[in-house]
Amino acid sequence: VSRVLNGHVSVRAATRVRVEAAVQQLGYRPSALARGLVNGRSHTLGFAVYALHNPTLGLLAHGVASAAHLRGYDVIIVDSFGDADSRGERIAKLVERRVDGLLLAPTRLEEELSTIRRTGIKTVVFDTAPEGYTDDDDPLVSFVGTDNARGGHVATHHLLELGHRRIGFLGYPHTIQGSKDRLQGYRRAHDEHGIQVDPALVVEDLHDMEAARAATCQLMENGRPPTAIFAVNDELAIAALQALTWRGSHVPDDVALVGFDDTPLAAWLTVPLTTIAMPIAEIGRIATNLLIDQIEHPAAPAQRVVVPSRLIVRESCGASKKVAQPDKVGSMPVMTTRCCDGYRGHPGDK
Amino acid sequence: VSRVLNGHVSVRAATRVRVEAAVQQLGYRPSALARGLVNGRSHTLGFAVYALHNPTLGLLAHGVASAAHLRGYDVIIVDSFGDADSRGERIAKLVERRVDGLLLAPTRLEEELSTIRRTGIKTVVFDTAPEGYTDDDDPLVSFVGTDNARGGHVATHHLLELGHRRIGFLGYPHTIQGSKDRLQGYRRAHDEHGIQVDPALVVEDLHDMEAARAATCQLMENGRPPTAIFAVNDELAIAALQALTWRGSHVPDDVALVGFDDTPLAAWLTVPLTTIAMPIAEIGRIATNLLIDQIEHPAAPAQRVVVPSRLIVRESCGASKKVAQPDKVGSMPVMTTRCCDGYRGHPGDK
DNA sequence: CTGTTAGCGCTTTCAA
DNA sequence: TTGAAAGCGCTAACAG
């Protein structure tokens, strides 16, 4: 029976048919548990994510799940919403489940890595590798993510090219690597334009939309308010949009706004949001396939994949009012080109 | 060793300590696979969901995962985004994994039920039971959901009380049970007010936001446009809001708008959305606990839980401009009371 | 080509 | 209180 089910070479056609008939009859299903026990491989992946209600992460989960299913793997979710502390423990629990691999949408990368190191499970982290990190540190850990610094740079550069000189920055706490990197891009764009960033314009430590709203108001009540705002993600940008609108500032005429992530609703706001889009479901797929490759070919080395993001120009930045062809915006074709390269929407998403 | 780990009665203290030390030393973790094999229980739940990038479903997933973790279960996600066809097959696969129970955020209830029936796995469906359905049909299947008809009624009633007489309805295809039920509530509210529904005002078959936008425009270009719109969920409402705003209709002054679901962003639109909220994460928790109860006490009968929803009055319906106390709106306290009963926000959500 | 056997890591039962 | 043995459902190796 085992030989039939696993498609082994040497089985007579007659026997095969007979077995298959019986299987049909009884509605027999082989136990993945028993199988995993003997093979030492459970065909299960653990996916640790901190906020499933975030549409971007949901899309990521979708990419992960669909790629995994395609290759015969199942995905166990570890939801660490609200308490990052329990996360390490939960990940350890996955060891008991004998997951073959781990996917991490991280909160505190450093801590998590040490957990991984201990368990020795092959892992893919959704992020770019921290600076100074080398593969030798964790030969089991791969990284898949977009270049956040570049995204921040492109967004800021776009606003700068539009003539803005006072650009506010709305960011997450500095401990969030992605936010930090985007800020770095923001800074570099300013440098390249020979513009000094007014520290009063940079607000980090925004942990939710309410904080972003308050920060926006404060920014505007400042003696010298910004003429544009770059928010580290669409969520914060949406809060800013509401705050600005309610204060009577028109977006984009009074204040231009650029977000990050291209959340599904970004295009559907009353002022559609200009934002940096990344192929998030595709990222999930790439990461999952990479992980499975490594599981199935243990010799394969850890990898770093940087997936390009691209600027999507909609209404909130005001560019559409000034230029017919958004492609023509900006004097740095290199940037635009490299960021768009290989990425034209979310393939397979719809 | 087994006796120590499972906290069995008869072990000498000394031995226990010795075993525990060794466990620590070796970093030993019992294999859930082997355990599941012998006990016949995998401590795993399958969660089938059709669109994880929907924040409402993400919140549901969060509720499910957190409740499951609390009781020592893990959750395998089955993502059926895009192809409902493969769903049955994927659910069948879960049988191989020997999941102890199934949670279904359904697309085609009827079909799915037959799959379940065949597998014989205890199941909870996130929905209210279909009309005419009795427990005898599937003693293994429980239902947990909000009363969609009531929600539709409350929303429509609210608009009616505000004086609107021509209320548009934006809905999903009629095959989606929830949408159908909400429409029924809409109709009943009209009946109770002795108002005939103009068929031209009811649009079903809206499968995405783009369709909702188009439908809204069409509705408005009608000879006798509505003065209010009730959308079957916030997603469609947000599309309608954009369409209306772009056409130059002010919400709520020209057209009032009410949605459904209270998606996390609803409060953050430039015109905050009046909507029907349900404690979605809580629903996930309730369902999961119910399922686990049934797994652990096989005698426990299937249940039907209807979780109350409630109207959240924000800007888009215009009520806040007319009445100070939203509670005073409406002449049918029964409705309001029963819908709010026992539900005061999303406990434990933050 | 196919029947048989050992053993994956655990729990349970039965002796000691 | 503890050691030993059987067996959960499967695969792999070894004979036949």
- β-strand A310-312 against A274-277: which pairing, if any? antiparallel
Mean pLDDT of B124-150: 87
CA count, 13 A, side-chain hemisphere, B1: 8
pLDDT in tens, A132-157: 787 776 788 999 999 999 999 999 99
Q: What's the N-to-C CA distance of chain B in angstroms?
A: 40
For residue B270, the model assigns a pLDDT of: 97
Burial (CB count within 10 angstroms: exposed 0-12, middle 13-18, buried 19+), residue A108:
middle
Residue the block writes with tokens 């049918």: B332
Mean pLDDT of B280-289: 97
CA of B15, C1' of C13: distance in angstroms: 21
Looking at the predicted structure, is the pLDDT value of residue B327 above 80?
no
For residue B250, the model assigns a pLDDT of: 97
Mean pLDDT of B41-54: 91
Mean pLDDT of B235-242: 98
Proportion of chain B above pLDDT 90, given as a percent: 65
Where are the strands (E) in chain B, listed by range? 44-49, 74-79, 101-104, 122-126, 141-146, 167-170, 202-203, 228-231, 256-261, 274-277, 304-307, 310-312
- Residue B279 and residue B146 in contact, taking contact as beta carbons nearer than 8 Å: no
Token representation of residue A7: 């498609």
CA of B33, C1' of C11: distance in angstroms: 13
CA of A276, C1' of C10: distance in angstroms: 51
Mean pLDDT of B48-75: 92
User: Alpha-carbon distance A309 to B300, whole Å?
Assistant: 52
DSSP one-letter string for A157-223: HHHHHTT---EEEE---TTSHHHHHHHHHHHHHHHHTT-PPPGGGEE----SHHHHHHHHHHHHHSS
User: Alpha-carbon distance B262 to B273, whole Å?
Assistant: 8
> Furthest-apart CA pair in chain B: how many Å?
87
Name residues whose C-beta falls within 8 Å of residue B322's C-beta, 6 or more positions apart in sequence. Answer: B162
CA B233, distance to chain mean position in Å, is 11
Looking at the predicted structure, is the pLDDT value of residue B71 above 50?
yes
User: Alpha-carbon distance B323 to B329, whole Å?
Assistant: 7
Q: What pLDDT tens digit does each residue of chain A (350 aa) get?
A: 788 888 776 788 888 888 888 888 888 889 999 999 999 999 999 999 988 888 999 999 999 999 999 999 999 999 877 666 677 788 888 999 999 999 998 767 777 788 788 888 999 999 888 777 877 767 889 999 999 999 999 999 999 999 999 999 999 998 888 999 999 999 999 999 999 999 999 999 999 999 999 999 999 998 999 999 999 999 999 999 999 999 999 999 999 999 999 999 999 999 999 999 999 999 999 999 999 999 999 888 999 999 999 999 999 999 987 654 444 333 332 233 223 333 333 333 33
Q: Compute the mean pLDDT over every residue in chain A, rounded to the nearest whole number.
A: 87
Interface touch A269/B270, C-beta < 8 Å: yes
Number of Cβ atoms within 10 Å of the Cβ of B199 = 6
- Residue A60 and residue A303 in contact, taking contact as beta carbons nearer than 8 Å: no
User: Alpha-carbon distance B175 to B178, whole Å?
Assistant: 9
Q: Is strand C in 7 Å reach of the CB of A344?
A: no
> Which nucleotide lies at the shortest CA–C1' distance from B2?
C11
User: Alpha-carbon distance A50 to B79, whole Å?
Assistant: 18
Mean pLDDT of B169-182: 92
For residue B336, the model assigns a pLDDT of: 30
For residue B84, the model assigns a pLDDT of: 62
- Residue B204 and residue B174 in contact, taking contact as beta carbons nearer than 8 Å: yes
Q: Which residue has the higher pLDDT, A193 or B29?
A: A193
Name residues whose C-beta falls within 8 Å of residue A221's C-beta, 6 or more positions apart in sequence. Answer: none
Token representation of residue B228: 């209010």
Looking at the predicted structure, is the pLDDT value of residue B152 above 50?
yes
For residue B227, the model assigns a pLDDT of: 98
Instruction: State pTM to two decimals.
Output: 0.89
For residue A339, the model assigns a pLDDT of: 30
Q: Which residue of A has its CA nearest to B64?
A: A79
For residue B293, the model assigns a pLDDT of: 95
Q: Which residue of A has its CA nearest to B269?
A: A242
Helix/strand/coil (H, E, C) string of A245-288?
HHHCCCCCCCCEEEEEECCCCHHHCCCCCEEEECCHHHHHHHHH
Burial (CB count within 10 angstroms: exposed 0-12, middle 13-18, buried 19+), residue A293:
middle
For residue A111, the model assigns a pLDDT of: 74
- Bases of chain C below 7 A from a protein C-beta are 1-2, 7-12
Interface touch B268/A238, C-beta < 8 Å: yes
User: In B, residues 38-77, which contact A (CB 8 Å cutoff)?
Assistant: 42, 44, 47, 51-59, 61-62, 65-66, 69, 74-77
CA of B30, C1' of C11: distance in angstroms: 12
User: Alpha-carbon distance B130 to B146, whole Å?
Assistant: 13
Dihedral angle sign, alpha carbons of residues B282, A53, B204, B336: positive
User: Alpha-carbon distance B281 to B278, whole Å?
Assistant: 9
User: Alpha-carbon distance B313 to B279, whole Å?
Assistant: 16
State the smallest CA–CA distance between residue B242 and chain A in angstroms: 5
For residue A340, the model assigns a pLDDT of: 30
Name residues whose C-beta falls within 8 Å of residue B207's C-beta, 6 or more positions apart in sequence. Answer: B172, B173
Proportion of chain B above pLDDT 70, given as a percent: 89
CB contacts, 8 Å: B91 with chain A: none
User: In B, residues 284-303, which contact A (CB 8 Å cutoff)?
Assistant: none
